[in-house]
Amino acid sequence: MNEIATRCIDIIAKSKSIPADSISLANTFDELNIDSLDKINISFEVEEAFNIEIPDEALSTLRTVGDMVEGVTKLTSAPAPIPTP
């Protein structure tokens, strides 16, 4: 598991007070008893941890922990703007 996945799972584990090793990328948020409000709280933690901004509309499309890791990976690897001459 890569560093982004590990850090995302740690944030979820802390937020829900459950052991990190009980969470897998395949887990749905429903399985982890994470409701839409929990998801919003976790999103703020993730934004701070990775210094990213998650689009508000994106949260409702995330179904699994893997979806969240994939989204964070995309946001953290977005190319820097090409400087204009």
What is the contact surface with other proteins in residues (CB under 8 A)? 35-37, 40, 43-44, 56-57, 59-60
Smallest gap from Cβ 57 to other proteins, in A, equals 5
Nearer to other proteins among residue 22 and residue 41 (C-beta)? 41
Nearer to other proteins among residue 28 and residue 44 (C-beta)? 44
Q: Are 54 and 47 in contact (CB under 8 A)?
A: yes
Q: Which amino acid, one-letter code, is at 27?
A: N
Smallest gap from Cβ 4 to other proteins, in A, equals 21
48, 76, 79 from 27: Cα distances, Å = 23, 22, 29
